[in-house]
Every structure is written in C-alpha cells, then in structure tokens.
Amino acid sequence: MRRWLRDWRFVAVEAVTSAVSILFFCAGLVLVPLMIIPGGVLLLPGAVRILHDWSDRARRRVGSYRGESIRGPAPVPRDLRSIDERIQLALSPPTVRDALWLAVDAIPLFSIAIVTIVIPLGAVNSLAVPFYWQYAPADEPVTAPYPVTSWPLAATMPLMALVYVLISWALIPAVARLLALISSRLLAVPARSSLAERVDALTLSRAAALDAHAAELRRIERDL
C-alpha cells in the first residue's frame, strides 16, 4: 500500500507540475516570434535559463522516484553579448532537448496524469451515489458511469466502486513508471553528447569573455 501511495503521489505531483509546464510552453510560443526582432533576442538567455532550471527540477524529481541521478546540461553562460551567441544558445542541443520535454510534459503527460489521479475519486463517488441519486432531477440523473434512476441500479454502485479500485490499483503504478520513463529519456543528456555540450558551453563562455576583453581594450585605446 505504501508503494501504491508513493506512485499516486508521484503522478499527482506530475499532474501539477505539468500544469505549470503548460504555462511555460505557452510563454515559449509567445517568445518564439519575438526572436525575429533584436529586442526579443535579448530575452533568450533568460528564457533558456528558466527552461533549464525547470527541467533540472524535473530531473531531480524523476531521479528521486527512479532512484537514479539524471545528468543535466551545463549551466547557461551569463556573459553572452552578441546576437549570434544568444541564438546559438537557443538552438543548442540541450535547449532543444529541454524544449521537447516541456512540450511533451505540457500536453500528453498532463492529460495522462490528470485522468489517472481522478480514477480513485470515481470509487468514492460510486459509494456516495446511493445516498444522493434520488435528489437529482428526473431529466438529469446521476451518471456514475451509467445513469442511476432506481434503487436496483443504485445498489450496483458498490460493485462499480470495486471496479474503480481494481483499475486504480493496477493502473496508477504502471502510469507512474511510464511517466518517469518518458521524462527520464527526454531529460537525460546522452553520455556521448555530454562532453560535446560542455565544450560548446565553454566555447560560448570563452567567446563572450574575448568579446568583453576586446571591448575593454577598445575603451582603453579611446581613452589614450
């Protein structure tokens, strides 16, 4: 029972966080058209940093559930100055991978999680139907899952509650493992690309540092 409750809690938390992912996903859709203007490009490092931070939270959450450590991308450099560097960051493999996870987490995984966690509530409702079905309007009978219009039908509700319980008992652990598997596959940085991505991040940081150094030298030359 403790294991089942842990699975249900994981699915419930994923449903809540997926709802937040929907907000981030919608914000991302608004940001994409802004990339064609200089002002929008200036927002890219901050947006990518928020995306990586949100995906890192998911890595820790999923890794804790699976009992493993999920490797994440290198931190986003904070000294990006040129437009090319910002666009390169937005189109880098770590950003694309996290954006793909965000899209999957916001739409299909949210739907799966929200449907799964409400199934146990169907059992509770089925047990309660015999106490309130007769108060429903005749043209709008209680439906759980079929219309209950008489006491014989109301008497079958405990059996329906048992069906909901059996479905929940089998489905929730399976869905929890499925959600964790999909998220871990999307969030994990492949070992082969981890070094390359860290080199890319170092290159971006080094290029930004060189640009800053060159700008400082030009300022000194002007002063002289």
Q: Give per-residue pLDDT as tens, 150-159.
A: 899 999 999 9
**Is there a domain that residue 151 lies in?**
no
For residues 197-217, give the mean pLDDT.
62
| 210 vs 83, higher pLDDT | 83
Paired tokens of 73: 């991308």
26 vs 107: CA distance, rounded Å = 11
**Is there a domain that residue 85 lies in?**
yes
Residue 33 has pLDDT above 90, yes or no: no
Under the banding of pLDDT at 50, 70 and 90, the label for residue 14 is very high
For residues 31-56, give the mean pLDDT.
84
**Is there a domain that residue 150 lies in?**
no
For residues 16-33, give the mean pLDDT.
92
Q: Where are the alpha helices (DSSP H) in 67-91?
A: 83-90
30 CB-contact burial (10 Å; exposed 0-12 / middle 13-18 / buried 19+): exposed
**Is there a domain that residue 46 lies in?**
yes
Residue range(s) defining the domain that contains residue 102: 2-121+168-223
**Is there a domain that residue 126 lies in?**
no
**Is there a domain that residue 143 lies in?**
no
Q: Range with the lowest mean pLDDT among 39-43, 124-128, 141-145? A: 39-43
82 vs 162: CA distance, rounded Å = 62
pTM assigned to the model: 0.76
**Is there a domain that residue 63 lies in?**
yes
| 38 vs 91, higher pLDDT | 91
Question: To the nearest whole percent, how much of the chain has pLDDT over 70?
Answer: 83
The whole-chain average pLDDT of the chain stands at 85
**Is there a domain that residue 134 lies in?**
no
112 vs 119: CA distance, rounded Å = 11
Looking at the structure of the chain, the number of domains it has is 1
Under the banding of pLDDT at 50, 70 and 90, the label for residue 139 is confident
